[in-house]
Structures are given as structure tokens and as C-alpha cells.
Amino acid sequence: MAIHNPVFEELMKDYDSALSHSGVSGERLARRLFELSQIGFTQVGGVKRPGFSQEEKTAKELVKKWMQEAGLQVAEDGAGNVRAWLPGKTPDAKAIASGSHVDSVPNGGNFDGPLGVLSALEVAESWKDTGYTPEKPYEVIIFTDEEGSRFNSGLSGSRAMAGEISEEEMLQLRDFDGKGLEQVLQDYGSSLQAFKEAKRDVTELELFVEVHIEQGKKLERDNQPVGIVSGIAGLAWLKAEFIGEAGHAGNTPMAGRRDPLVAAAEFIQKVSGFPEQVSETAVATVGKMEVFPNGANVIPERVELNVDIRDIQEQTRDRLVDLIASEAKRIADSRGIKVNLHENTKIQPIPIAENLKGKLADSLTKFGISPTYIPSGAGHDAMVLGRHIPVAMLFVRSKEGISHNPKEWSSLNDCVAGVHVLKDFIEKAMNE
């Protein structure tokens, strides 16, 4: 039985056609979002396009066709990253680039990733339709396996392009079926050697700017269609292991118990109060905990938990890590138990340069949009490139902040507003 996919009709239903100007076509953007939504379509209206899957590959092939029709030269590297480019009037100048990804989480939405790719492509389409030739080269990039649903380790394409995946990591990666990276690449039509050769000198890019749905509610609360990413948070994972003394739940008096779960509970409650002590953008979350031996009538012997700590500034993020670690030690000491702490992940935050945020604000103001600044708590391909070159990001309003879900939605009016802002910002960068 055929399943009706209403993406195109819903996008066009309330669209203000006056927003289609200067070569930007809302209908074209809506139709392309719809066509991508058909690839990996799920019964409940989402998409399933894991990295390096045939669905992701099919989506890339479709976008590559559109890129070629827009007059771009197209190539795909051994990691599955697609690059499309216009030479510009000064072909030996550094390129301005934009893009995102087309893979998804299992049963994900239709805007996370594709909107960034199609927005970048729509800029090139607008230039073709208006006869505009950019001063500098322009690139549209589709990064492969951003979400990480294949290997439980995301940003594979951008990290391969930047040369950030070591030989050791390549050999250790296993996907959800237990296949190694080499087998996955062979199934995809590439090879481990070609994956290694995907590394490029990313400093040949002057700037990378990514459009993405907000995945939050600030723009909705502020009633603005597009906002400026103030920085991309760096992640730190702190593992805490509280070690006490197991005992019988009925025969061990309350006085003198060395219960690590009680200590862990106190610790979790305290963690939520620390972020506001270091910055307005810091967050800390305990989302995973294991109790040993985990018996209903046993005082636990050991509790392990992980604290997810993020901020857009490295100094404040690291201060938050220190505060939380000190609190774990204080609680353990006060309850006569041990605690072992281990930082098992630490990723550098990527602040966005003030001059780039200022130029984005000028572009927003040009279209009557009040600049709203939003930290990104999630990782993006821009975060990887931002370790090597200047990057900027725009967020497009997302209904109720829903993401990684079939209900993920951004209105076509907001999506097109994002394209206009991106186009204006890139054109100004082209002439500097």
C-alpha cells in the first residue's frame, strides 16, 4: 500500500511567494526537501539514511545531479564526501564553502542536514538564475556520516577530510552489524586506502558557513525565523565510579552504611546547579548510570555514572569539569566511600569569531530579522572544520525544538529566509 508523504504540500501550504526573489526559489527548495524525504522514508514519516548506506548514497547521487544542473563541477572522495564548486572570477583565491549532510539517525527528520545542503545549493542556483558570477571560488559540500548512526562515532566525513581519523581508529571502528570500516567502505563502493586519501588541505578554504535547524526553542520563543550560532560547544565526559560496601538491605542498620548509590544520588542533584556558576551557556547532564550488583534487596557495592559537560568556551567548560570532579570527591569523603574519576572524552569548543557574527547580524538586519545569538550544544561538521579554518553557522527556527524525530519541522518561509541570509553573507564575503 502506497504511503502518502505530505512534505511538499505542507511546506507550500502557507508559503509566502513574495520570499521567492533574487533567484531564490521556495518552491524549488520545497520540492527538493520532499524528494530527499522519499529516500529512506519510514512508515511514520521520518527517514532512515545511516552513513555509508545505500540510502545515503542514493540521496547524494540525487543532489549531485542537481549540483551539475546548477553548473557546478562535482567530485566525491573516498570517504563519501561530495564537493561541488564554481571557479569564480579569481579562481586561484581561497574558496568560500557551505553545506552539511544528508545521512540521518534511525527514523530521523527531514530537515537536519538536508536543509544545510540544499540552502548552500540554492545560493548557487540563485546565481545561475540571475547571471551572477562570484568573485572567489564557491564550494557546496555534503559530508558523509555526520550523525554517527553507523559507527556510533559521528562526523566521519568531515574528520576524514581534515585528516583527524587515525589509522588505529580506522581499524577499531565497528558498525551496528559488527562490520569493520574496511568492509563497510567496500560495500559502499570505496576502500580503506581511498578513505585515507580523502584528507585534503582544508586551509585552501577561506571560510565555511553551515545552515542547520536550531534543535531548540529560542528562535520560537523570540519569534525570529533565523538566528546566529554564537559558538559550538565542546564536549567533556567525566566518568565517576562511587565504591562503597555491599550489604543485606534488611539486616544492615542505616547508621554506618557506606552506600554508593546514596552518594551518587546526592552528586546527581548537585551537578545540575554547577553550570550557572561558570557561564550562561554551560550545561551538565547525567544520562547514564549503572548499579552493581543491582539487586532489589542488596545495598550496592559500586555505582558508575557519566556526566556530559559542555560549553562554547574551553576555559569555562574545563572549570565546570573541575567543579563537578571536586564535588564528587567531597561527597565521597563525607560518606566514607571511594570515588574514581576519569575523563574519557574531551573535545575542543569552537567559538565563532566576533567579526563573522557581526556580518551575519548585518545580513539578518537587512531582511528585517532581529539578531538572536544561540549556542549550539550539538556537534556539527562546522565544528571539525573550525579547528582549522574560520567557520560560521546559522540556525533556522525549528517547531517546538523537535529534532532527530519524524515530527522535526521548519516552515518554508523560515527555510527561505535562511537562504537569503546565507546568500547575502556569502556574497559580502566574496567581495572582501
DSSP state letters, 284-304 = EEEEEEEEES--TTEE-SEEE
**Does residue 140 share a domain with residue 203?**
yes
Say what the pLDDT of residue 6 is: 77
Chain centre distance of CA 232: 9
Give the pLDDT band of residue 153 (cuts 50, 70, 90): confident
Say what the pLDDT of residue 3 is: 44
212 a known binding residue? yes
Does residue 239 surpass a pLDDT of 60?
yes
Residue 105: burial class (beta carbons within 10 Å; 0-12, 13-18, 19+) = buried
**Does residue 171 share a domain with residue 288?**
no
307 belongs to a structural domain: yes
147 a known binding residue? yes
Cell of 22: 533574487
420 a known binding residue? no
CATH code where residue 67 lies: 3.40.630.10
Single pTM value for the model = 0.88
Q: Which of 346, 381, 409 is the last residue in one of the domains?
A: 346
**Does residue 218 share a domain with residue 284?**
no
186 belongs to a structural domain: yes
Does residue 152 surpass a pLDDT of 80?
no
Q: How far apart are CA 416 and CA 419, in angstroms?
A: 5
240 belongs to a structural domain: yes
Residue 416 belongs to what H/E stretch?
helix 412-430
Q: Average pLDDT, stretch 380-396?
A: 96
Say what the pLDDT of residue 2 is: 42
**Does residue 339 share a domain with residue 353?**
no
Question: CB–CB of 206/429 below 8 Å?
Answer: yes
Proportion of the chain above pLDDT 70, given as a percent: 99
Does residue 5 surpass a pLDDT of 70?
no
328 belongs to a structural domain: yes
Q: Average pLDDT, stretch 231-249?
A: 94
14 a known binding residue? no
Q: Average pLDDT, stretch 127-155?
A: 93
1 belongs to a structural domain: no
Q: Which of 346, 376, 405 is the last residue in one of the domains?
A: 346
Domain count, the chain: 2
CATH code where residue 273 lies: 3.30.70.360
4 a known binding residue? no
Q: Which of 346, 364, 381 is the last residue in one of the domains?
A: 346
Which residues, at least 6 apart from 183, have a Cβ–Cβ distance to it below 8 Å?
A: none
Residue 147 sits in which domain range? 7-232+349-430
Tell me whether the omega of the peptide bond preceding residue 293 falls within 30 degrees of 0, making it cis.
yes
Burial 132-169 (b: 16+ CB within 10 A, else e): eebebbbbbbbbbbbbbbbbebbbbbbbbbbeebeeee
Which residues are registered as beta bridge partners of 59? none
Give the pLDDT band of residue 400 (cuts 50, 70, 90): very high
CA torsion through residues 146, 149, 152, 157, sign = negative
Nearest partner of 185 among 41, 57, 49, judged by Cα: 57
2 belongs to a structural domain: no
**Does residue 377 share a domain with residue 297?**
no
